[in-house]
Structure 1
């Protein structure tokens, strides 16, 4: 604060002025001086704030990676930033006052700039403009500008603001994003395939047992046919050698030709039946593991459930008690393989939950319903149920309550997606009397 000037010596009172009047004058002078000092301090504070604001704006302009051009109504550059100076190879001071059109690399870009400058009703939200700028080496650089009007305090347009990014950087970013997306899609497909193969692997024991019976039957019949073939070869050889009929009778009885001929039809029929059974099993596996999920058609839901029960009980859960109460013969539009995977997963999960909890015996009740064009399957087990904290995450990918190495955490998530793709819903909850309950709802064909 500046030093206060010394007060003037007390003068003798003039005619008509007493001492109190002079004291009032001196007091007013002190008040005016104090106000001047306060105004000077406030002005210094305002100047400091203004400098801070200017420094802040300058730091923002310098930190921007996008190029910035603020020009007046005629297209003369009033303000820019370091990004544009580095791109064009020109100093910021040299850019100010020059025409923005002079930065363009071709006539098409200059025409677009002039068109925007000459458009009075430019959108307040901005207009996208693709131009090419000349870089420091004289090469064209594509830039995607967003042009917005700059208004004064009265709301009148006094210029334009151009903010843009060189397209080369955007293209590189887009290319990286596309590569990451493709990698994510490949990983997702691999995870889906892995979960499907894991589900298929749980059925290997049942498949082996299921195939063993018809194949063993076919092998036994083939061995019998081989023996019969040898006998027939011997007998026909004697006939072709011209042996008399009277001498053939003992050989016919010895080789049991009559019994052989009577047994051939049943052997052939049994062989064909075993081969057909094997073909049906293989066809069922092919339908389950089919890679093409887009092949859709009418699917009998009861048959899918019965097949799923059969596979799980023949495979990993021979002691599982499953009470299946089919509803009306519901037909849904979908792919049999994915729908079978949903049923297999729900039944297998019920077995894991009930057997792991020591239920005696592990039991699952499946009931079918058909109401108002909606097919509903309800799966209820006598396990411990679903913990309340797990209900909200049950269908999240990779969420599992099983020990490490016992599950991928994708089964229910994939099942949820499959049911949703078929226009249905997969719901989960707990029964009032204990045990988990899953409900599959699918639109039925009319």
Structure 2
């Protein structure tokens, strides 16, 4: 027997115990009602015994009720089969006493014994040995009731016929229970297989979503790379010419004598230098093809951080970005992908803080070396993430943004990027106070 089958049977037994507990409680209440309603039959068949039988029925119902109450205790839950078997014998004992007190083998109550046997086999999740034992006990009760009857056995053939009939009912009920039990286990096994298949399908869909997201991101990177390659030639030359012209103009006597003109040229120079920085940052993505990575290239994390802040300047308007970095930030990996991760973290933080109306929004980037890896913490003072959403932020297509403002793939892609670098991206948050994302990168060899 394989380990998986043993585990499956163990789980099945636990589920079967819960099912038996439910059946015992529901069946017990039903039996109590039927036992009490049986007083109508006493009135029709044996009106002279009605009062005594009524008392017996009430006592039997009370005993069954006490047994059902015990099922709500821990000990009762553990021994549900024994308790159920015990209270099921109470109606059989009651009916057998009625047979003894009336006509023996001539009593019509023997039919109640056979009906109860079939009801136990069909309605209760009993084992076939338990059902057989219940049937044999019923045969014994009937035998004692008839033989101990004050008038003795008046019709031996009828007594033997009914005794054999009760035994056959017990045997048939046991056979039915045996196949019912096997069918129940097969159904449970099928449900377990379906659950496993659904779980595998869900994981496959999640992996597919991540792959699609990564391909989409790589296509975007390729498009940026193509644009960057063109910008290198089309923008750098005119920017250099402009910078050269500004430098020459700033040396003119008229400029030196005019503070306002000098300020204008200084602003123009800074603007051109900013264009140079942006083009330089975009070089990171140049000449990249979809599906390719540069995971073994050393780069300065500090430089990647600068690039991401400049490229995300539009989203970070009004947000104070501070840093706390070690003197050495040389790491190894795919610089463009890490820039993409930082841009995504900054954009999410800025959007959340702007949407929540955070006063003095800020993002603080802190890094330190530990065990040969640079551990990075990106923390904002925004509205935080709700606890029920914190565990789901890395799920593909999960987003709290409004429709049309994002696919919910950014963090799942960022998680995959960090994972490709041998690290882990995880989130922390205090609702209403702050959110932090942490990841680590390998030191350059």
Q: TM-score, normalised by structure 2?
A: 0.46
Compare the two structures and name the one with the higher strand fraction: 1
Q: Which has the larger radius of gyration?
A: 1
Compare the two structures and name the one with the higher helix fraction: 2
